[in-house]
Structure 1
């Protein structure tokens, strides 16, 4: 939430049945001041509501019902655009009606049922000019109910049943529904009034025309048509109106308007609509039984085309009811079509004979189909075994030839299965959205990391072929190299070089056991920056990584940094400049806010994410930790008068804080903050970042083999031999058999992907 600006959060209600949210509501939700609707109802949220919720001054609907929220009733003072509030079924601390009950003039509906409210209902609440419903049943409200003399003319319902109200001052100006059942006041003189009676469900007559049919009745499977007073087979179903603007069910003209609307808009004859049993159900929906009758002269039945037409209009909500009924949905009952052939009913013997014949025919067809399927499967299997690349794409889309690879090879499924001991759990070294990662040893003795796609994340054959052709062309000492791939027996696997020292995140957290001093961190930053600069400037076509983070920067046995996991990467078309319009993907905390808001992806989005990684190198903190965003924390703490630690001493990694005057520290922090500027135009390129880190290392006396943009670019090409790490002699050797040393696509489980709808 700290980097997301949205106009709608819709995470509750029936859209999330079976997928309930849990945990606390983050305080950062109060920062999204453009939010208009917040629905988090019917989840398993706990803890107090954030105190800064009333910063959402643009919100018009708030629904936190049916959770396990605790603490004080949230303070909504100042939310002057609020129309609808529902805080029911939570565990707030017992309190009197909050002050905002008397201040939010824009309210139309206030719902806080099964709560802990006590004391008196504020008189001013009933005077809000747009107020239509107040539903406060099953609380502990007490004292005298006085609605005052300025009751809103739009107020239709006040439901206060099952409280502790002892007396009531009645106002003759209010003539709509007031429910006081279950209060002590109903044991006094008003016990016989409608206020203290359960609200009766009103049953409407079939229609005004039906009154002229007398007492005539029909068989159980038929209904009495109001237009002809004859028995016929109606098309039946139930209408559910979710938010009607009225509560009075005795006004017959309201339902006449609905009847007329139905027969006119559905193309039926006048009087062919019957409405029955209208009442408000347990969900507070207006429920009505609907019967539609065939026109006079068309017999007792609708034909199939008429039923399909009417059903489509109602079930797909093409039919629009009168506006006072509001939104609805329709559930139809099966329609009993006549069983006739040539005007004569079929005998039971004929029906049995037809059914038996059809059954035999179906069995024969099933046998033929199974035989054909088996033959087809055998033929395809033979082709697959003789031509392993034949399944890249459907017929006509691809020749079935192998992909054009540079430095990578094809592996059979059996070969990879053998080298991972049948993909055993003991060889599992990581996991992510793509699938699981296994350590394996090839017959040549080479240790590799094998990414095995899970069923839901596999691509089409042509897309997979394109991706591995791309990855095989990307060669740089600071990019994890692709050894090969497998596309066989319904499997998609990528085989990478094994990185024994795991992820940068693991090393910063201390999980790996390898100490990272300041110089090592600078070298890691430089290596990963060079890998990204190669992707942006020298790969053909250029590539935007789109998921730069500390768990995607891996360290080899010499602590050389290599960028990994191009699962979200995008190719830059044409000259590689400009932007790509694309669905927003990435990892929360590293996501470029400008990319999120505009959906325009550029190389500068990678620069922003790399700036976050640089701040991780300084603090060893995760981008979002305990609700705090690393960029904001650094900006707040920074003091330029502090020439040694820049005012960041309190949030630094202790391994750096204990150093005396780390060389280039201030320049490094300035460069990181330059990378995370809000506007992409204000950020440097990755090549500029490379030059900046090189300059810091040169100041410290470390040889980087490049001192300019041109020399840095020259080092992007493939190098021969094994690069010598500046601290090679001092580094402890790590056991490559450690199964916890490598995680290609994991890291801490914050929200892994951001895909707004």
Structure 2
């Protein structure tokens, strides 16, 4: 009895835990959906008991395997939003009751052994974004009702036994981007109605029984990048000449389709990278016009083509594979000299009767096996890793001999636009690790193998960052990114699919996860328990802190600043008590933001000054480099376009930085689609100029100069007059200084850090940080200012998307329609400057001084009076009045053009883009 009364804090903790569990358990799954899940379970056969949790408790609150739930505002129940039963060795059939899951967004039964039909009731789930049923044994026809799903983004029913026609109702899938229906038994024609799909990127219908003519109307699609229809029977059909008018097309693969007629002119497809028309009945000569310069593969083998081989084919700079086998070609031009790296196949043509001219090109070869490979074999002289765990050495780690547990990932490119992966391996590693937010050495491509299709099967290993294990949250994050198709790869790699996600040693850490894949439902229960405990512990810790503070018994520890001898002249040192008072004890109402470092609070100091207080969370305290770096740099930096550091707090277990308060928040806030008063063109131009001037100061006037290393829209803050100030110097690096001989190094070699989407590709690839790395990042910011898009969103990379629009001459479709006016000549100059900043070649990028100068010239070229908008429009709301008061040229969101008596300044960077531009919604 005495023990129970000895610790009131234990009692508090127990009560809090019980309270939190009660809150979580107080909600339950909607009864209709709970019954539907039970009906689904009754139709499934579960031989290895993967769904054992489905036999007890409430589906959402008992964390049924693969069931993810959320609450919606309209009622008090929890609703099933995701059904993730990927690769669980399930068989049986899909129950029609699945249509009762009215809030379901993701339906994922990939890589099981399901049979029977796809229930037509799926068409009732209008919230569906993803249907992934590929890799099963489903049969029957596709239900017309799928065409009701206006929000569907991805339909994957490939590698089943589905028969019948492709429903014409699919033309109503106005949000669909990916139609993967290959390797089935579909019959009939490809519906021409699919040309009405505005977002369609990938049409994969190869290895079916499709017939009839290829629909010419597919040329009317706006976004189509891949047509893959190999191994069908379009007997008597020719390749529509209209396909030359698909400006976005990257891959056209029509192998073994019984096609006849001549090869049409394809020079109107500016991005074409892969052309396979082999094993058809095509006649006539090969069009001699040059194809797109980025083409990697041309396969015209096994047709009835005659005449000569186009000499200019050998000059295509990215060509990997050129196959003319088994035709009637009789001439090789003298100018035809392909590089040695290009595989050229000519056997089976009359030209091979002249062995002197065709030497080395006419030997028959098997072209079905493209080069496969494996990761680098590195000899590491280390002791053996523990045999009781699946630990191994990462052969790419910069720190050798660390035993680590990798995650295994089966990964397949479903329609790559290349024939040889070796020269694109580095680009794949760079793209995938950028979106996964891993260092490039954490990805090890153990092996890759070409399969029929052709498709590229890869086995990847993801290693923790020089530690033994990933944290649980990291495992969950990586699984969600891979399984959610959230990796943005170069278009040339095409769509991908996750084949497996193997935990290895993590089975011991998360025993319920299973080797087939990590279930978010299972981990949700673990996370809920963790959160509950964290909340309880946090409250108790706060209780302790308040008790100790009230008694003035604060026990100090040596300041990390004093231990590191950091010079902090000109900034104030605050106590923890002062910070608590300024924020009302860090009340939630004072919180104005959160980032990787910690939370940011609005505070009021004793002298009446309003400040922003960035409070480090516990993980950030363990390594205080960012804290120290920011204080050391900002204490000696003073510029109107840099956020000022007022002080810091460094005592007990707390580290805080105190800045001037920026009332208009981050630039990203004002580019968000939810922003009620978006910035106009003049304001965006002034923000860009202010940010450029701030970074220019860092590069040229700071002593020594500084590379920011994390320029992005969330690190550009806006004051009360919407002037831009660059913030967050936690990742910054001092620029190199001359060596003893006076030579100035061109770069700093450092571990890659920064934000995906903003990272300089050259820095990411080589670890060489230069001032041009900040230029690239600012270029991305400029693109965001002009388009409103995020750097990486919905699988799209802003640089690639804008560059494609720029090259096509149609930049109006990417301009942010929320700008009420946009002078076309100036917007073109702005866009041209941004793209110059984002060039892959660092030497081709301008310096920051050039950027600031060009932005200032654009600002000066604004129609008279329009530059006032940067200061007044957000404060007065008088945008309409101001635009009407000017007599100068501008374009409204309706596309109306107003004549001007003032000529705009000419561009310093000629773009070649049409000067007239109507701003239309994206």
Q: Same fold (TM over 0.5)?
A: no
TM-score normalised per structure 2? 0.36
Q: TM-score by structure 1 length?
A: 0.43
Larger radius of gyration: 1
Q: Which of structures 1 and 2 has the larger relative contact order (alpha carbons within 8 angstroms, sep 6+)?
A: 1
